[in-house]
């Protein structure tokens, strides 16, 4: 690859800046990455893409844990003859073929339609932990929860449930990590489409299951930078 050394040096420098200033970095591979698929070609392409994205995070010097999350959608609906457990087992088998940097960083997100709302994502995560000792936290997305609700529609309650899936993998396994969640807003015409900015007063709830590890809310509207400035100006977040 041309300029490979230069690229690696620039990424390492960028990672150092992020660390010095306390900037969180992760990745969000697109919806075509489906580890739960029964199609071997699709899974092979997914593994290649996830391994590549993990390698970039490695070159940035980021830890191989959920403080630098790689967040994906399960993006699969169990077929008539499949249970959640069958899908989760296939997901885990395919995840086990990924590089360590993927395995240690991967998180899943509740989806705006289909089977994997918050309730089923948590069941999925719990099953992986209890059956395979695989720690796959759930990234809570408020807009997806609105479009594809679980039985309880309370945002703070559902976000807190997801926060408890972010268990520290290292020393002190009883501790939790600061979860990385998504805060968004849809448009009146197309609720699943991200709005340009947040409406006045629309701000994420304060969720902190550990006093020192408050949820990090990623801003998921189109005008991200301006939206964050407006939130800070109106004192809706720090």
Q: What is the per-residue pLDDT for 1?
A: 62
* Residue 74 contacts residue 124 (beta carbons within 8 Å): yes
Kindly report the CATH number that applies to the domain delimited by 4-233.
Answer: 3.20.20.150
Q: What is the C-alpha to C-alpha distance for residues 37 and 109, in angstroms, rounded to an integer?
A: 16
Q: What is the per-residue pLDDT for 171?
A: 56
The CA-based dihedral angle spanning residues 20, 24, 25, 29, taken in that order and rounded to the nearest 10 degrees: 180
Q: What is the per-residue pLDDT for 225?
A: 87
Locate tokens 């593994």: which residue?
A: 47
Residue extents of the structural domains in the chain: 4-233
Handedness of CA 115, 118, 119, 124 (dihedral sign): positive
Q: What is the per-residue pLDDT for 146?
A: 95
Instruction: Bin 234: left if φ > 0, else alpha if -120 < ψ < 50, else beta.
Output: alpha
pTM above 0.85, yes or no: yes
* Residue 209 contacts residue 181 (beta carbons within 8 Å): no
Q: What is the per-residue pLDDT for 5?
A: 85
Residue ranges of the chain whose pLDDT lies below 70:
1, 170-174, 234-238
Q: What is the per-residue pLDDT for 238?
A: 44
| Per-residue pLDDT reduced to its tens digit, 102-150 | 999 999 999 999 999 999 999 999 999 999 999 999 999 999 999 999 9
Q: What is the per-residue pLDDT for 209?
A: 83
Q: What is the per-residue pLDDT for 61?
A: 96
């Amino acid at each position: 690859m041309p300029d490979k050394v230069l690229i690696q040096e620039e990424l390492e420098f960028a990672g150092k800046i992020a660390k010095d200033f306390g900037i969180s970095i992760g990745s969000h591979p697109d919806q075509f990455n489906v580890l739960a698929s029964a199609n071997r070609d699709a899974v092979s392409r997914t593994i290649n893409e996830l391994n590549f994205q993990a390698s970039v995070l490695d070159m940035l010097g980021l830890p191989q844990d959920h403080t630098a999350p790689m967040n994906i959608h399960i993006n699969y609906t169990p077929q008539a003859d499949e249970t959640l457990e069958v899908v989760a087992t296939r997901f885990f088998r395919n995840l086990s073929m990924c590089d360590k940097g993927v395995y240690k960083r991967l998180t899943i997100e509740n989806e705006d339609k289909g089977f994997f709302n918050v309730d089923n994502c948590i069941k999925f995560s719990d099953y992986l932990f209890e059956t395979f000792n695989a720690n796959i936290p759930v990234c809570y997305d408020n807009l997806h929860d609105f479009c594809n609700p679980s039985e309880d529609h309370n945002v703070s309650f559902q976000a807190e449930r997801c926060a408890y899936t972010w268990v520290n993998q290292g020393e002190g396994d009883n501790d939790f990590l600061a979860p990385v969640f998504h805060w968004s807003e849809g448009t009146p015409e197309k609720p699943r489409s991200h709005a340009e900015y947040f409406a006045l007063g629309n701000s994420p709830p304060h969720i902190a299951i550990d006093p020192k590890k408050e949820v990090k809310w990623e801003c998921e509207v189109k005008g991200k930078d301006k939206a964050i400035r407006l939130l800070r100006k109106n004192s809706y977040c720090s």
